[in-house]
Structure 1
């Protein structure tokens, strides 16, 4: 049923690649100062959140092997 397809002449395909529309799109609207400031503040908030999560998360990612040993030695000194 789908085996038969119409042949497309090569000239038509080549012409379609060269086709350019003479209709120009409308110019893009410029962002207002408040929109630029809002986007900048949102970006800075996201970056500050990522940096803050790294700063607060770094102590928990450090190996606690040395601290555990130190706490054990302090407990043994107290006896």
Structure 2
């Protein structure tokens, strides 16, 4: 096979991994004290909700092992 002499279209995409920009991004803005407190409060509320749901739901999902299971019988009269 022979190589083509003309440039390949979109050849700049092949060199994109080697491209380094000289423009620095702006520095990140620090979160204020109120924003940090709000994030902590939201996270704490979510964790408390999950723990509360587990605490309320776990007894409902467990089967009592000390009481025998009673089965109802249909009356033979009808």
Please give the TM-score of this superposition, normalised by the length of structure 2. 0.66
Please give the TM-score of this superposition, normalised by the length of structure 1. 0.66
CA RMSD of aligned residues (A): 2.6
Equivalent runs, 1:1-79 vs 2, <5 Å: 7-8=8-9, 12-67=12-67, 69=68
Structure 2 unpaired stretches of 5+? 1-6, 71-78
Greater helix fraction, Structure 1 or Structure 2: 1
Q: Which runs of 4+ in 1 moved over 6 A?
A: none
Aligned residue pair count: 64
Structure 1 unpaired stretches of 5+? 1-5, 73-79
